[in-house]
Structure 1
Amino acid sequence: MLSLGKIDHIHVKVSDIPKAIAWYERVLNMVPDTRYHQMNDAPHGVTMLANQSGSVRIALSETSVPNDDSGTIAFVVSGQDFLEWIDQLAGERVANREGLTIARDSVADHGFFCAISFVDPHGNPFEIISYDHTWLAGKLKFKARV
């Protein structure tokens, strides 16, 4: 039976490529992947970004069409990294869909995993998720579920 290996990349529409590159580099530590430089001027003009290990790639394409909110991109991290990502997003004053700046009280407790949701400056929705729920519940002091 055929099986998918992993996600190669995710396409994200933005209104300004240089501003988007600066935001993704500053906030998510993703930089242009020079192996894909020939795609920058291709008919569909894609700028490929990657994390340091190359395990996550986002293909930015410029458009004047507003974000259609077609889906959320979710990344999974360890519990310790989850806490560090909250601090990183808060330090960069990244906002959630309601326009509120991310903080530790922005974490959604889903019972067996935790999530922090935010948007890039172009309205594209993201989540950072951790399945280290028990450990995070102790650190973040979630209110008891009824």
Structure 2
Amino acid sequence: MMLDAIDHVHVYVEDLPAAAEWYQQRLGFVHDEAFAEWYKQGGPYVIRCGAAALSLFQRSACNPGNTIAFAIQAIKIPALLARLDQSTLDYTVVDHQLTWSVYFYDLSGNPLEVTCNDYAAATPVRVAATQKTVLE
């Protein structure tokens, strides 16, 4: 099982609109409209510049710190879950209705996320992985 890339980094900010503007003016980031509805529902404000993406969170609503989110293809989800199960690592799988994410912590307590943005392809793979776990 190989990760594909760093998908995005969670950034916790004091003033979300000011932070989005700062990243836009200084580094050329723009709002990723694919996640606009997510933000309206209380999710992060996702900005992108080329292949780089940041998920901006209002600091008052979240604990300070950063989460690194790695990208994974849908077909690799069963191998990821099997590896996490073998390690007896606690993890949480979240259906964001737009993406699938697996959350866990590294050895030092740093939060990590492995996410699949191909929701349509990941959903049946995730369901099959869940059924396999239940059957075993």
What's the TM-score once normalised by structure 2's chain length?
Answer: 0.44
Higher helix share: 2
Q: Which has the higher contact order (CA 8 A, sep 6+)?
A: 2
Higher strand share: 2
Larger radius of gyration: 1
